[in-house]
Structure 1
Amino acid sequence: MTEQHYSLDDIRKNVSHIDNEILKLLSERRLLSLEVAKSKIGTAKPVRDQAREQELLLRLIKTGKTQQLDALYVTQIFHTIIEDSVLFQQAYLQKLANPDSLQPVARVSFLGAKGSYSHLASRNYFSRKQTKLVEMSCSTFRDVLNIVETGNADYGVLPIENTSSGSINEVYDLLQHTSLSIVGEITQPIEHCLLTVGDVDVKGINTLYSHPQPHQQCSEYLHSMGDITQEYCSSTAEAMQKVAELNLPNVAAIGNASSGKLYGLTPVKGNIANQQENFTRFIVVARKPVDVTSLIPAKSTLIMSTAQKAGSLVECLMVLRNLNINMTKLESRPVIGNPWEEMFYLDVEENLKSDVMQQALEELTRLTRFIKVLGCYPSENIKPTEVEIEE
């Protein structure tokens, strides 16, 4: 029996056919997950069932082994599929909980032009909501808020913290004075690289353009470059546009490789951030708060000012501990005009409407000089279900 040989074109056609079948099946699976969400409305069951997910993953790992697929490969693929399923169900349930917010088109403000990290985060967030965007670029964080406050945009997207450079203090300071509510969040991977006009030698670069945050997040690599001039721009998009206009071999921008293509730039050095796992968390703000269904995990963000005496902050934090409310973020910022007085920002994993959160707010109100809820919103940080993978 002679062995059949396929041409490269035939092999590629078969691979493309399989890829199309995979996409079809993923679409069918997503629609079934929507039916799961509908069934949970009547039973009031939460979207996530960690025990069910763990059982599913273990079964898939076992089945994968019979197909010569290693456990890590299967786990990575299905973690992504499960995350998509959870977010898809959450988006559906949130639409039911907030019928007034249903709109086919949304006006969204963000920092920088097309290609900035804020722009990418905006697109990724609203793609989950299946909402078309009218994109409104802004030159400052204050403008992002103002355009929403005045009704000229429906939503604003702002970076709030980064795994490498920490909190974005300017945004926290602006949140002290806004009337807007936080209605959503998204965590965006940040993949910094050097972008130039053409494929140039990195050693010849002596001037770098970017927003101050990427400069800070890539400080170790920039130090290794020696004596270079760091020029600050209002966004990574402006930096890329500047480098494209200069059209010089000795200048570069720090930004995202795919965004650089919009400006005709070439990535000449990737993975330049201090941390390889570099993520920025963005918040979404709007004029009206949203209701978060009890079927999905929620976050609430508060700001408060405590009395100027020893132990005041500890007393407030003990309220959360005693009520078993998990705090995921605590940030302090100075109160403008009041020297040595701090405003504290807290993110907690609890729905504002829950009995335990209402009790916490009641106790915190008695202990603080000032307290305000900035928003309650769906938590979209989907932690993968852990399973033990046998070697």
Structure 2
Amino acid sequence: MTKSYHSLDEIRTHVTRIDNEILALLAERRQLSLEVAKSKIKTTKPVRDQEREQALLLRLIDEGKQHQLDANYVTQIFHTIIEDSVLFQQAYLQKLTNPDSLQPVVRVSFLGAKGSYSNLASRQYFSRKQTKLVEMSCSNFRDVVNVVETGQADYGVLPIENTSSGSINEVYDLLQHTSLSIVGEITQPIEHCLLTAVPTSLDQIDTLYSHPQPHQQCSEYLRTMGDIRQEYTSSTADAMLQVAELQLPNVAAIGNASSGELYGLTPLKTGIANQQENFTRFIVVARKAVDVTPLIPAKTTLIMSTGQKPGSLVECLLVLRNLNINMAKLESRPVIGNPWEEMFYVDVETNLKSEAMQQALEELTRLTRFIKVLGCYPSENVKPTEVDYPEE
């Protein structure tokens, strides 16, 4: 029976109580996931057990029905909880595998000022590492890499690809020549909106500031705005700062709404990206490579230059297929200084130390003119476990 309440304040008091109880239970569940990780070290079981996850979700769906909760609502909530549990366990196991990487404070370089998408990705990535950040803003990707190479920063965070605008070529080109290793990744939702400093309307806007990538990712909406002047900045944060300083009704920045609050900006129009599900994948680079425990999913990124003859690339890809190694990404970029020659970037979903990957590297070394491993790192892309349940 639903309890009756006498006032809105009374209802809100009970809602607050329930919210606090939920938070306490989530914290307790997270700590239990840590105990699960410890037990898996002894049994050498992998972090993910998708058969158990599927059984868990099906049981929760049935349980939810008893409380008039639909299946989609239940699975959305518990997909998020399971993802957090997996990433929390991975972070714990990686700390044990790389004990010399334990630092109470780390220096992280990223593109733009505070509030840029790279800054948001940095904070999200290191939030699970239980370490304090010293944030180092950089005006371009080259500087992000340089400060790590010279020891001024411990890590650098770089965007590598976006679901709407594709690969970020400048970053791929930097990876050809750096001595740094890729040690992590994170995929962040990108929620673009138009941000203004003063009250205004869409028909007054004639100038938009942002990094070139957001301009590209919002190109379809921008075309509907007519003759708009697009001004490029080094980051979304710099665009927001410029609009905040101008204080004009005809200018706006493309950026994140929560970041806009840092600069006193308010959203004029939300959801302007070409794709509703707009995500950017960031990589984390450091001077020293990390070891990835075999208990968690791993990715290995390598670059290679094949021979200048027909079928050279196909021969290399067949090596991966024959060893049952899944390729998650293949990107080509021109080799600077060598016209018509290309370098291929390959992401594979396997641990560098695995027997299959070691055999693949041996065979690829014979087939290529140049090959280099850029890094092996934990895969942060926790794919939701699919469950089949009857429609309501």
TM-score range, shorter chain: over 0.9
Q: 5+ residue gaps in structure 1?
A: none
* CA deviation profile, 1:276-312 (whole Å, cap 9, x unmatched): 0000000000000000000000000000000000000
- Give the whole-Å Cα distance in 2 for the aligned partners of 1:126 and 1:262: 21
- Distance, in Å, in 1 between the alignment partners of 2:271 and 2:9 is 34
- C-alpha spacing 1:362/1:64, structure 2 compared with 1 (3 Å): same
What displacement does 1:199 show?
A: 2.9
Q: Over residues 86-135 of structure 1, what are the superposed CA-to-partner deviations in whole Å (9 max), with x where a residue is unaligned?
A: 00000000000000000011000000000100000000000011111000
Which residue of structure 2 aligns with residue 303 of structure 1? 303
Aligned to 1:242: 242
Q: 2:133: which partner in 1?
A: 133
Deviations 1:328-361 (A, max 9, x none): 0000000000000000000000000001000000
Distance of aligned partners of 1:379 and 1:62 in 2 relative to their CA distance in 1, 3 Å threshold:
same
Q: Counterparts in 2 of 1:84-233, with a 5 A limit? A: 84-233=84-233
Q: Aligned runs of 1:258-269 on 2, under 5 Å?
A: 258-269=258-269
Residue type at the aligned position of 1:77: I
Instruction: Give 1:10 deviation, angstroms.
Output: 1.0
How far is 1:197 from its partner?
1.2
Secondary structure at 1:252's aligned position in 2?
Answer: strand
Name 1:290's counterpart in structure 2. Answer: 290
Instruction: Give the total of aligned pairs.
Output: 389
CA distance in 1, matches of 2:277, 2:197: 27
Distance 1:4 1:225 in 2: 50
SS at match of 1:269: strand
SS in 1 for 2:119: helix
Question: Distance between the aligned counterparts of 2:131 and 2:281, measured in 1?
Answer: 21
Q: Give the root-mean-square deviation of aligned CA atoms.
A: 0.7
1:39 equivalent in alignment to 2:39: yes
**Aligned-partner residue type, residue 257 of structure 1:** A
Q: Which shifted more, 139-148 or 4-13?
A: 4-13
In structure 1, C-alpha distance between the alignment counterparts of 2:78 and 2:142, rounded to whole Å: 40
Q: Distance in 2 between matches of 1:179 and 1:222?
A: 39
User: CA–CA distance in 2 between the matches of 1:6 and 1:382?
Assistant: 44
Runs of 4+ in 1 over 4 A off after TM superposition: none
Shift of 1:4: 5.0
Aligned partner letter, 2:361: L
User: What is aligned with 2:362?
Assistant: 362
Q: Could you tell me how far apart the structure 2 residues matched to 1:190 and 1:20 are?
A: 29
CA distance in structure 1 between the aligned counterparts of 2:389 and 2:20, rounded to whole angstroms: 30
User: 2-side partners of 1:228 and 1:215: how far apart?
Assistant: 11
Shift of residue 61, structure 1, vs aligned partner:
0.3
Question: In the alignment, which residue of structure 2 is the partner of 1:74?
Answer: 74
Name stretches of at least 5 consecutive residues in structure 2 with no aligned partner: none
Q: Identify if the C-alpha distance between structure 1 residues 137 and 60 changes in structure 2 by more than 3 Å, giving closer, same or farther.
A: same
**C-alpha contact 2:198 2:248 (8 A) present in aligned 1:** no
Superposed displacement of residue 389, structure 1: 2.3
CA distance in 1, matches of 2:253, 2:369: 45
1:314-353 counterparts in 2 under 5 A? 314-353=314-353
Cα distance in 2 for residues equivalent to 1:212 and 1:45? 45
Q: What is the one-letter code of the residue matched to 1:390? A: P
Cα distance between partner residues in 2 of 1:346 and 1:4: 60
Aligned-partner residue type, residue 94 of structure 2: Q
Counterpart for residue 62 of structure 1:
62
Give the structure-2-normalised TM-score. 0.99
